[in-house]
Structure 1
Amino acid sequence: MAGERTSVTIEDAALESAAAPLLDKLVADAVASKVGAQDATLWGAEAESEASIRLSWTSLHKSSRPLIGEIEALRTELRSEGVDRVVLAGMGGSSLAPEVITGTEGVALTVLDTTDPGQVADALAGDLDRTVIVVSSKSGTTVETDSHRRIFAKAFADAGIDAARRIVVVTDPGSPLAELGEAEGYRKVFLADPHVGGRYSALTAFGLVPAGLAGADVARLLDQAAGVADTLTADSADNPALRLAAALGAAHADGAEKVVLADTGSGITGLGDWAEQLIAESTGKQGTGLLPVVVEGHTAPGFAGGGSDATPVAVGPASGEAKVAVTGPLGAQFLLWEFAVAIAGRLLGINPFDQPDVEAAKKAARSLLDDPAALTGSAEPSAVLGSVEVYGGAGTTGEGSLTDVLREFLDSAPEGGYLAVQAYLDRLDDASASLLRPELAKRTGLQTTFGWGPRFLHSTGQYHKGGHPNGVFLQLTGTPEEDLDVPDRPYTLGQLQRAQALGDGQVLAEGGRPVLRLHLTDRAAGLAELMRAVQELAS
């Protein structure tokens, strides 16, 4: 993969023709070189203030070099002490890139981007004697990550292990987490470049530290990015970032506001999940944007055929179904997609560096946590069907079988809309939930996304509230077998998970988005019943 050429090929002749004038304009306006020069004026006067402190990602292939030695020195130290199991507590931009990097290199990293008590308990059940936890948060106040830190610190102490020696911090300078790390004497505090937003942070300490400690070759990653940097800043029609941005912009202008991503043999594990946050959070605002739909392969429902509302993009070699194909090694792809999405933001007329609608769900969740009565709720399900409790919003009666309930809800989707499945469950033990995506896409004809909650709140959650207002939202929650206390906090993980689901559903409903919540009183049985109900929908 190291010698693989980085390229963007527009396979569809009509799309290439539509993209050509946009590409010519981007070249004429010297947009690529201006992005490389960190010109904050490219996205208009309203975005200039934010852009001026968010463009350092363009030079990370150079500025992140000193991290290589620091990471390797710490890894060597830890290994000499018998500490070789790395757990990462981080959300969104703090976890997605490290997961792609380590997955692609085949090195072990336990990622905690969840509030599900079962999944966290499984991570705790690993060998604590061999464990270091990387607590990664740009703001230093991320509630999920702070909860993980508290839980692991107590577990270390209970096991007679000096917790401070097993906690590594990655955060921005001056954050509360940076101050805490210094005060508590944590093993190491890595300070990331504060002029890089979370979703553009793959090549900062947020991406490199956990991946490097786990054993990934982060120097090679930076070399791959450096190898394509000059190409991405060139004002040329051959610039792959300009080609990708022009293709996405032209498709959106023609009504294809969805970007369907399928891996076609790239050799990269999970790039779509990382690109999902970058695309959705950067562009999904002001009632517009590009909705990323990550699918299981180039023959998956939603990719094959695509539809007039979607652009199928192959990550890897071109397939017969793709309209665009993007190739290149991982480090190069990180930088390529960052350039392309930032430039696509200019074409869409939005600021690609803010996330104005993300905070709403966080505030709603905090309000519920502060009001235990509201959290436990007096609302009765509109129906109880086997192991599934039905909580429908406006327009959903809950009458009939589970298939009838689903059909009634799905009929509320507008033509050309999309379905978002949001699973507030255990990403490992309840992994079968993800099989619902292709089944629903096949039977409804809707572009269908799947997200694990609350991790998607730090990703597509912005688009759901700020993007094209044509989504319908299927929430899945479940009763945990056992709950976990969060030390020195008045809530458990299960309560936090529930508050996040209910809070986001509340914000979506207030915004006029249809929401159906299905609560699984027995997760395994409920998922099986739900799959059967989906399969009974007319295809």
Structure 2
Amino acid sequence: MNPLKQLAEAGQAPWLDFVQRGLIEGGELATMVARDGLKGVTSNPAIFEKAIAHAPEYGEAFQRFVRERDCAPMEIYEHLAIADIQAAADALAPVHRETGGRDGFISLEVSPYLANDTQGTIDEARRLWAAVDRPNLMIKVPATSAGIPAIHTLIGEGLSINVTLLFAVPRYEAVAQAYIAGLEDYAAKGGDVSKVASVASFFVSRIDTVIDRELQARIDAGGPAGILQPLLGQAAIANAKLAYESFRRIFAGKAWEALVAKGAQVQRLLWASTGVKNPDYPDTLYVERLIGRDTVNTMPPATMDAFRDHGSVVHDAVEQDIEGAYAVLHAIEEQGISLATVTHDLVEDGVRQFAEAFDKLLGAVAEKREALVTVNAARIEAPEDIAHAVNEAAAGWRADGVVRRLWAGDAAVWTGADEADWLGWLDIVGQEHAHVGTLVRFANAIREGGFTHVALLGMGGSSLGPEVLATSFGRQAGWPHFHMLDSTDPAQIRALERKLDLAKTMFIVSSKSGSTLEPNIMLAHFRARMIETAGEAAWSRHFTAVTDPGSSLEQVAKHERFAHLFHGVKSIGGRYSVLSKFGLVPAAAMGIDVSDFLVRTSHMVASCAASVPADRNPGVRLGLLLGTAATRFGRDKVTIVTSPRIAGLGAWLEQLIAESTGKQGRGLIPVDGEALGEPAAYGKDRVFAQLVLKGDEDKAQDAKLAALAKAGHPVVRIVLDDVAQIGQEFFRWEMATAVAGAIIGINPFDQPDVEASKIKTRALTDAYEKGAPVAAPDPVFRENGIAVYADPANAEALGRHNTLSAWLKHHFQRAHAGDYIGLLAYIEHTRAHEAKLEAIRLRLRDARKVATCVGFGPRFLHSTGQAYKGGPNSGVFLQITADDAADFAVPGHRYSFGQVKGAQAEGDLGVLVERERRAIRVHLAEVDAGLAELEKAIDHAFA
């Protein structure tokens, strides 16, 4: 008999502290049971990391599982680990039967992240117990303050528990009492306590590592070597002997004997961490000197090999020289080394180490998964100082478990306000895919209903996402033309109307609250037009509503019997809603394969999951860059560069970033549509983000970005393999924006300053409704059909000037390094007008070396308008309004669409002024001529 097998005669069971698929499938585990008398197996995150990340036998199973059902690293790990645990349990089942349930166990640990969460530990232990479904499983639970009540509860439910991370004798005694109390509870419920087993894993070598370091430091400092030297390597075994003494005392007496009469087993002490850390010590030290009855020693493979080769079995070694053990620990205390402090710190350090090992494990799983799934490639180039700061932030997020807290809905990740109420976007992709049949049926109804046009009426988050999908996917063969209206400009409404065959048009009215002004008056207009076209009885068959449950729009849709009604999710804000019904209903109507779209998007959701460490999490990494670059390096302008086919992403990103982060005088300013220039055109306030569709690349654009990166600007490059992967970018940037908001220190889910302009607009439209006169301010200057308006504070700051060029020059000269210029145009949104404003913005950028933004009103009010009013006071704004060539009334109201647009412009400017923004207005008598004159004046101003 080899020494390992002789341990049984001394009352000790040898267990293996290692598990790997090859060990089981190759028959080595069975060999060890027969040859060595092996009685059990333990595992931990570090063991699984080595196995899953590095052992070749996991490759095929890993690939098969991910390809069949891609999911987050945690689910992949559990799938593989549970299979191993079940296989090991089955291999050890004969031992379990032969020992009457005393041995033959395999351990599986609850997530180390739950070490300080009692209820979380209980819930996970129950789940893992059910998932493995083997009687010889032990669930490992740490002996933290939160773990002990969980141990009591779980034993009381009949689960077998391996209590881990025990260092201190008092904590062990509390664990033993929790075990006994749990057995009593289980017996009181009629449970068979003979089926419950437990071990208390008391850690050994780590104590010597810490105390030896302290002793050696005193020796090196000139302390009494004659006293200190003999204490080296003695503390751990002495501490274990005292724990064993407590064990013999606790599991004795009448109370315990009453449980024994019902079949109860003692909770054996299991010596853990028995691999020698100091090479000067015998490699079998923590086995030979801790042999005792009713104990277990779980050995790593190297220690087991050593003991098999040259170990010596000394019966009851752990009970020898107890007085000497007390003397050792007393002598250590006399040298100023507190065993209580050491063991307390070791528990905390053990929790941290296990969590770090779990992070490493999940990171390794994430890395292997990335090679098997198609996720949009991303590369971040940043100067060394920014890259270092981002890495520091990622390390902090990993150590503090912030990604997990974010997914768990911890509002303290942000400001501790109502953020937890707005996280429905995190798991919406899976929810929508589970019910995708509803969308498929709707799509079929659109096509079979003979509709050749679909027109969406919405604003902000209800319209920008569908617009991206329409422009990126293009018209699908055999499906309707898609149109989107998000303006109150009369010309724009008429332009849409001319494109439609009303008799064959389905209108999608999209509004979360149902009370938003613009969709409601658009609905009023097209309702009237459809009544003219289809009649009072049939008009509503041409309308679909997408809105939150209980909204006023839902009531209208039900009362008027709209053809379709879809509900959003109240816990998803508008700008985060594109992957919910607000984006998917229009997507289905335009013929996009919504099921495939959601599956592809789910790959990014899994890549950004709670179980993906921050440094490997694509959404978190991007958000840490954006937030850190802004707060620590002043780079708060996010310049969005896209390839032509997916250019619509820029406007969607503008809203997401600006409305989410621009508040409380802080935030990111997104810059979309600004053509790239040479490095000299930019200050040090930019981060560049390029999104490119493969096959749609622009070599000139790539060269300019390379030059910018070389000049020290952070550049993010994201490549989409296929347009159907655009949903991945929706989720990546939603996550990134939420993370950036946490870094900036704001609530990324509210929009307090959007409402401010709505209030002023409402006051004006209410006045129009009542027929009350609305006073118009006088301009401070007129020239060639252009009038300049400025409030007293801005007028005083600018002084008096005799030309439009001079007014504009002095206004825009107020934009300095770190500022930006915003052109806010309340005119028809056409390509021609875009081109004119693009020429103006580039002229201003190159002249002032600042970022430039262009927004068409009232569209931008539900987007960048939040950042302009609530973000940093670094904007210099020029509002552009114009007379409407042809206006018309809103049905059912006394005001017109032109008046609504004017009221919105007035409300917008009023709030900018109230927030002490540098803002003036130019009013054009005629749009095209006025824009030409404006461009001419700016060219002259900065010639």
- Say whether the fold is shared (TM-score over 0.5): yes
Relative to its length, the structure with more helix (as a share) is: 2
Q: Which has the higher contact order (CA 8 A, sep 6+)?
A: 1
Partner Cα separation in structure 1 for residue 727 and residue 761 of structure 2: 36
Give 2:833's match in structure 1, choosing from 391, 410, 430.
Answer: 430
1:268-292 Cα deviation digits (max 9, x unpaired)? 2321211111111111111111111
Instruction: Please state how far the C-alpha of 1:345 moved relative to its aligned partner.
Output: 1.0
Residue by residue, what CA displacement relative to the aligned partner does 1:1-53 show, whole Å, maximum 9, x if unpaired? x94633342343332122121111122222223333333332132x2xx2121
Conserved? CA contact 2:542–2:563, under 8 Å: yes
Name the CA distance, whole Å, in 1 between partners of 2:518 and 2:618. 37
The residue aligned with 1:476 is: 880
Q: How far apart, CA to CA, are the structure 1 residues paired with 2:391 and 2:801?
A: 52
C-alpha displacement at 1:377, in angstroms?
2.8
Conserved in 1, the CA contact under 8 Å of 2:443 and 2:589?
yes
> Could you tell me which of 402, 425, 428 is aligned with 1:60?
428
Tell me, yes or no, if the aligned pair for 1:484 and 1:493 is still in contact at 8 Å. yes
One of 513, 517, 531 as aligned partner of 1:139: 513
* Residue number among 74, 97, 106 corresponding to 2:442 in the alignment: 74
Q: Distance in 2 between matches of 1:244 and 1:369?
A: 42
1:124 aligns with 2:520: no
Does residue 384 of the first structure (1) align with residue 782 of the second (2)? yes
1:164 corresponds to which of 527, 535, 540: 540
The match for 2:860 is 456
- 1:36 is aligned, of 379, 404, 407, to 407
Distance between the aligned counterparts of 1:185 and 1:364, measured in 2?
34
2:571 to 166, 189, 195: 195
Match of 1:258 in 2: 637
- Is this contact kept in 2: 1:277–1:459, CA < 8 A? yes
C-alpha displacement of 1:440: 2.1
CA distance in 2, matches of 1:103, 1:5: 19
Aligned to 2:472: 104
CA, structure 1 residues 276+396, in 2 after alignment: closer, same or farther (shift >3 Å)? Answer: same
Larger mean CA deviation between 288-297 and 65-74 belongs to 65-74
The yes-or-no answer on 1:235 pairing with 2:633 is no
Instruction: Report the equivalent of 2:307.
Output: none
Note closer, same or farther for the CA distance 1:268–1:304 as it changes in structure 2 (3 Å cut): farther
Superposed CA deviations along residues 479-511 of structure 1, whole A, max 9, x for unmatched, are 111112111122110000000001110111111
Contact 2:433 2:595 in 1 (8 A): yes
What is the CA-CA distance between 1:432 and the residue it aligns to? 3.5
Q: What CA distance in whole angstroms lies between the structure 2 residues aligned with 1:269 and 1:426?
A: 20
Which stretch shows the higher mean deviation, 64-73 or 486-495?
64-73
Q: Note the C-alpha offset of 1:216.
A: 2.3
Gaps in structure 1 of 5+ consecutive residues: none
Counterpart residue identity of residue 885, structure 2: E
Q: Aligned-pair distance for 1:456?
A: 0.8
Fraction of identical pairs, as percent:
36
Is 1:485 the counterpart of 2:859? The answer is no
CA distance in 1, matches of 2:751, 2:889: 31
User: What's the secondary structure of 1:533's corresponding residue?
Assistant: helix
Question: Any conservation in 2 of the 1:390–1:398 contact (CA below 8 Å)?
Answer: no
Q: Are 1:155 and 2:526 an aligned pair?
A: no
> Which residue among 512, 534, 538 is the counterpart of 2:938?
534
| In 1: Cα distance, 2:426 partner to 2:682 partner | 32
1:257 offset after TM fit, Å? 1.7
Aligned to 1:400: 802
SS at match of 2:421: coil
SS of residue in 1 equivalent to 2:853: strand
TM-score, normalising length from structure 1? 0.94
Secondary structure, in 3 states, of the residue corresponding to 1:371? helix
Question: Per-residue deviation at 1:439?
Answer: 2.5
The yes-or-no answer on 1:184 pairing with 2:560 is: yes
Say whether residues 1:15 and 2:406 are aligned partners.
Answer: no
Amino acid at match of 2:461: G
SS in 2 for 1:52: helix
Asked if 1 retains the 8 angstrom alpha-carbon contact of 2:817 and 2:849, the reply is no
Q: Distance in 2 between matches of 1:98 and 1:119?
A: 18
Q: Using the TM superposition, give the Cα deviation of residue 467 of structure 1 relative to its aligned residue in structure 2, in angstroms.
A: 0.8
What does 1:282-293 correspond to in 2, within 5 Å?
282-293=660-671
State how many pairs are aligned. Answer: 532
Letter in 1 for 2:502: L
Task: Output the amino acid matched with 2:544.
Answer: V
1:273 corresponds to: 651
Shift of 1:239: 1.5
The 1:145–1:333 alpha-carbon spacing in structure 2 relative to 1, beyond 3 Å, is same
What is the aligned partner in structure 2 of residue 509 from structure 1? 913
1:6 touches 1:332 (CA, 8 Å); kept in 2?
A: no
Distance, in Å, in 2 between the alignment partners of 1:375 and 1:94 is 34
Question: In 2 relative to 1, CA 236–431 (structure 1 residues): closer, same or farther, beyond 3 Å?
Answer: closer
Q: Is 1:524 paired with 2:928? A: yes
Distance 1:266 1:386, change over 3 A: closer
> Any conservation in 1 of the 2:503–2:534 contact (CA below 8 Å)?
no
Aligned with 1:182: secondary structure?
A: helix
2: CA distance, partners of 1:185 / 1:148 = 18
Query: How many Å apart are 1:69 and its aligned residue?
Result: 2.5
Distance 1:379 1:467 in 2: 27
In structure 2, what is the equivalent of residue 215 of structure 1? Answer: 591
> In the superposition, relative to structure 1, how do residues 387 and 188 fare at CA in structure 2: closer, same or farther (>3 Å)?
same
Q: 1:305 to 1:237 in 2, by over 3 A?
A: farther
AA aligned opposite 2:389: A
Unmatched 5+ residue regions in structure 2? 1-372, 476-480
| In structure 2, C-alpha distance between the alignment counterparts of 1:21 and 1:365, rounded to whole Å | 45
Match of 1:86? 454
The answer to whether the 8 Å contact 1:6/1:333 transfers is: no
Cα shift at 1:374: 8.1
Displacement of 1:120: 0.4
1:443 CA displacement: 2.2
User: Which amino acid is 1:385 matched to?
Assistant: E
Which residue of structure 2 aligns with residue 310 of structure 1? 686
Q: Report if aligned partners of 1:67, 1:205 keep a CA contact under 8 Å in 2.
A: no
After TM superposition, the structure 1 stretch with the greater mean CA deviation from structure 2, 366-375 or 400-409, is 366-375
In structure 1, what residue type is equivalent to 2:924?
L
* Structure 1 letter corresponding to 2:912: L
The answer to whether structure 1 residue 247 and structure 2 residue 625 are counterparts is yes
Change (3 A) 1:224 1:266: farther
**Whole-Å Cα distance in 2 between the matches of residues 215 and 514 of structure 1?**
45
Quote how far apart the aligned CAs of 1:68 are.
Answer: 3.2
8 Å Cα contact 2:836/2:932 also seen in 1 = no
The separation in 2 between residues aligned to 1:230 and 1:66, in whole angstroms, is 16
In 2, Cα distance between equivalents of 1:270 and 1:398: 41
Residue 409 of structure 1 deviates from its aligned partner by 1.1
Q: Deviations over 1:74-95 (max 9, x none)?
A: 2322322321201111111001
Matched residue, 1:324 = 715
Secondary structure of the residue that 1:86 maps to in structure 2? strand
1 CA distance for matches of 2:390 and 2:583?
Answer: 32
SS in 2 for 1:256: coil
Deviations 1:398-455 (A, max 9, x none): 6222211110211233442111110111112633343232222222222111111011
User: Secondary structure of 2:380's partner?
Assistant: strand
User: Structure 1 counterpart of 2:715, which letter?
Assistant: V
Measured in 2, the distance between the counterparts of 1:434 and 1:60 equals: 38
- Once residues 664 and 886 of structure 2 are traced to their aligned partners in structure 1, the CA distance between those partners, rounded to angstroms, is 41
How far is 1:527 from its partner?
Answer: 0.8
Structure-1 residue corresponding to 2:40: none
AA in 2 matched with 1:432: A
Classify 1:478/1:517 alpha carbon distance in 2 versus 1 (closer, same or farther; 3 Å). same
